Structure 1
Amino acid sequence: MDRQKQLADLQVQLQLLGEQFAKRLKEELPQLADRARQLERSSDPAEQLEHLQELRNQLHKLAGSAGTFGFKELGDQARSLEQQSQQWLSSLELQRKGLETFIDDIQMLAGTSDLCAAVVTAPSSVEMSLNSSPNEDCHLIYILEDEESVGESIRRTLSTFGYQASHFASTAELDEAIARLSPDALIVDVNLGNTQQSGLEYASSLLARLPKVPPFLVLTTQNDFDTQLQAARLGAVGFFSKPVDVAKLESRLERCFAQQGGTPYRVLIIDDDYELASHYRLVLSSANMLVEVINEPNRILETIARFNPEVLLLDVNMPDCSGPELAQMIRFNDDWIRIPIIYLSAETDIGLQMNALLKAGDDFVTKPIADKSLVATVFARAQRARLLSNALSRDSLTGLLKHADIKEQVAVEKERALRTGKPVSVVMLDIDHFKKVNDLHGHAVGDNVIRALANLLRQRLRRVDAIGRYGGEEFLAVLPECSGTQAVQILDEIRQQFSRISFSSGIGDFNVSLSAGVASCVELEADALIYAADKALYAAKNAGRNKVCLAEA
Structure 2
Amino acid sequence: MTKQDQMNSQLAALEARFRERLRSELADMKALADQLQHTANPGAPVLQDLRDRLHKLAGSAGTFGYTDLGSRCRELEQQAQCELEREHYDHKALDALAIATQHLHMLLQRSTPAAQQPQTLSTAARQTAGGRHIGLLIEEQPLAQQMSKTLTSFGYQISLFRHQQELAKASPPLDALIVDTSPRGHNMLLQAPFAERDGQAPPLLVISSQDDFISRLQAVRAGACGFFTKPVDLPSLESRLERSFNNHQGGPFRVLIIDDDAELAARYQLVLGNNGMLVDTVSDPNLLLEKMHNFLPDVVLMDISMPDYSGPELAQVIRLNDDWLRVPIVYLSAETNAERQMDALLKAGDDFITKPISDSALLTTVYARAQRARMVSEALARDSLTGLLKHADIKEQVDIEIERARRCQQPMAVAMIDIDHFKSVNDQYGHAFGDNVIRALSNLLRQRLRKVDRLGRYGGEEFVAVLPNCNTTDAWLILEEIREAFNALQFSTDEHTFCCSFSAGISGCEEPEWDCDELLDQADRQLYRAKHAGRNRICSTSRDAADD
Structure 1 length-normalised TM: 0.90
Match of 1:508 in 2: 496
Given candidates 521, 536, 539, the residue that maps to 2:526 is 536
- Deviation digits for residues 511-537 of structure 1 (CA, Å, limit 9, x no counterpart): 112122223343433212212322332
Given candidates 17, 21, 24, the residue that maps to 2:21 is 24
Match of 1:440 in 2: 428
Report the more deviating stretch, 143-152 or 93-102. Answer: 93-102
Match of 2:40 in 1: 43
Match of 1:480 in 2: 468
| C-alpha contact 1:125 1:370 (8 A) present in aligned 2 | no
| C-alpha contact 2:249 2:451 (8 A) present in aligned 1 | no
| Structure 1: gaps spanning 5 or more residues | none
Given candidates 210, 227, 239, the residue that maps to 1:222 is 210
Given candidates 256, 260, 279, the residue that maps to 2:267 is 279
Match of 2:515 in 1: 525
SS state of the match for residue 331, structure 2?
strand
Match of 1:59 in 2: 54
| Structure 2: gaps spanning 5 or more residues | none
In 2: Cα distance, 1:132 partner to 1:354 partner: 29
Given candidates 130, 134, 144, the residue that maps to 1:141 is 134
What amino acid sits opposite 2:30 in the alignment? A
Match of 2:100 in 1: 105
| C-alpha contact 1:134 1:260 (8 A) present in aligned 2 | no
In 2: Cα distance, 1:475 partner to 1:127 partner: 37
Match of 1:190 in 2: 181
SS state of the match for residue 245, structure 2?
helix
Q: CA deviation at 1:385?
A: 0.5
Q: CA deviation at 1:274?
A: 2.1
Structure 1 residue 83 corresponds to structure 2 residue 74: no
In 2: Cα distance, 1:474 partner to 1:35 partner: 69
SS state of the match for residue 399, structure 2?
helix
* Alpha-carbon spacing, 1:230–1:6, altered in 2? closer, same or farther (3 Å): farther
What amino acid sits opposite 2:188 in the alignment? E
Report the more deviating stretch, 400-409 or 23-32. Answer: 23-32
| C-alpha contact 2:487 2:501 (8 A) present in aligned 1 | yes
* Alpha-carbon spacing, 1:150–1:8, altered in 2? closer, same or farther (3 Å): same
In 2: Cα distance, 1:346 partner to 1:132 partner: 28
| C-alpha contact 2:69 2:107 (8 A) present in aligned 1 | no
Report the more deviating stretch, 482-491 or 303-312. Answer: 482-491
SS state of the match for residue 126, structure 1?
coil
Report the more deviating stretch, 114-123 or 510-519. Answer: 114-123
| C-alpha contact 1:498 1:513 (8 A) present in aligned 2 | yes
| C-alpha contact 1:402 1:470 (8 A) present in aligned 2 | yes
SS state of the match for residue 93, structure 2?
helix
Match of 2:322 in 1: 334
| C-alpha contact 1:67 1:368 (8 A) present in aligned 2 | yes
Match of 1:159 in 2: 152
SS state of the match for residue 264, structure 1?
coil
| C-alpha contact 1:492 1:548 (8 A) present in aligned 2 | yes
* Alpha-carbon spacing, 1:482–1:369, altered in 2? closer, same or farther (3 Å): closer
Match of 1:207 in 2: 194
Within 5 Å, which residues of 2 pair with 1:410-421? 410-421=398-409
Q: CA deviation at 1:22?
A: 2.6
| C-alpha contact 2:414 2:506 (8 A) present in aligned 1 | yes
Q: CA deviation at 1:416?
A: 3.5
In 1: Cα distance, 2:196 partner to 2:377 partner: 36
SS state of the match for residue 246, structure 2?
helix
Match of 1:408 in 2: 396
SS state of the match for residue 157, structure 1?
helix
Structure 1 residue 547 corresponds to structure 2 residue 537: yes
| C-alpha contact 2:134 2:175 (8 A) present in aligned 1 | yes
SS state of the match for residue 486, structure 2?
helix
What amino acid sits opposite 2:194 in the alignment? L
In 2: Cα distance, 1:482 partner to 1:117 partner: 56
| C-alpha contact 1:147 1:169 (8 A) present in aligned 2 | no
Structure 1 residue 305 corresponds to structure 2 residue 316: no
| C-alpha contact 1:134 1:261 (8 A) present in aligned 2 | no
In 1: Cα distance, 2:40 partner to 2:442 partner: 75
CA-atom RMSD, angstroms?
A: 2.6
Q: CA deviation at 1:32?
A: 0.9
Structure 2 length-normalised TM: 0.91
Report the more deviating stretch, 283-292 or 504-513. Answer: 283-292
Q: CA deviation at 1:57?
A: 0.6
In 2: Cα distance, 1:390 partner to 1:549 partner: 30
Q: CA deviation at 1:127?
A: 6.4
Given candidates 286, 292, 302, the residue that maps to 1:314 is 302
Report the more deviating stretch, 542-551 or 129-138. Answer: 129-138
Report the more deviating stretch, 256-265 or 140-149. Answer: 256-265
| C-alpha contact 1:25 1:116 (8 A) present in aligned 2 | no
SS state of the match for residue 364, structure 1?
strand
What amino acid sits opposite 2:326 in the alignment? R
* Alpha-carbon spacing, 1:130–1:499, altered in 2? closer, same or farther (3 Å): closer
What amino acid sits opposite 1:465 in the alignment? D
In 1: Cα distance, 2:144 partner to 2:378 partner: 30
Within 5 Å, which residues of 2 pair with 1:320-399? 320-399=308-387
